[in-house]
Amino acid sequence: MRFWDSSALVPLVVQQPGSAEVEAWLAADPELVTWTLCGVEIVSALRRLARDGVLRESVVAGAEDLASELLRRSHVVVDVERVKALATRLLRVHALRAGDALQLGAALAWADGAPAELVLHTFDQRLALAARREGFRVFPDGKG
């Protein structure tokens, strides 16, 4: 079981440079753990791609359906109060945006304080650095 940030999930639902890599991760371990607001972040990313002219509306609609299905079969961290407390601490010690701190807070809540040997997937470099510093194994991280 691995924690998936939204930046790692988007390439599963639309073709992107990292799609083959994330498909291999999913094949290696099909049990996903996500944060309860991950779906909102995915829709935001997909709609931004549509506004920027990278994706057609029909592709976005299909990708949103695929994302919903992925999230339905994932283990979802829903303890908002615990995640908020963890995210607040993370913002004080790491150079993160609020959304990334919430993602990492959710991963830490899932890890129950013991992230060593647990995997977190993200393409966000700031989140990856903070997650490594908190003890997670992060992919991709150039250390592979």
DSSP string, 25-71: HHHH---EEEETTHHHHHHHHHHHHHHTTSS-HHHHHHHHHHHHHHH
Question: Which residue range is the domain that position 59 belongs to?
Answer: 2-139
What is residue 97's DSSP assignment?
-
Look up the CATH number of the domain holding residue 92.
Answer: 3.40.50.1010
Q: Is 80 exceeded by the pLDDT of residue 84?
A: yes
Percent with pLDDT over 90 in the chain: 96
* The total number of structural domains that make up the chain: 1
Other CB atoms within a 10 A radius of the CB of residue 1 amount to 12
Question: Side-chain half-sphere of 28: how many Cα atoms within 13 Å?
Answer: 10
Residue 54 lies in a domain: yes
Mean predicted lDDT score pLDDT of the chain: 95
Residue 81 lies in a domain: yes
Residue 144 lies in a domain: no
Tens of pLDDT, residue by residue over 50-76, are 999 999 999 999 999 999 999 999 999
Q: Which helix (H) or strand (E) holds 98?
A: helix 98-111
Tens of pLDDT, residue by residue over 96-140, are 999 999 999 999 999 998 999 999 999 999 999 999 999 999 998
> Both ends of the chain: CA-CA distance in Å?
17
pLDDT confidence of residue 141:
65
Whether the model clears a pTM of 0.85, i.e. scores above it, the answer is yes
Mean pLDDT across 36-40 = 97
pLDDT confidence of residue 144:
40
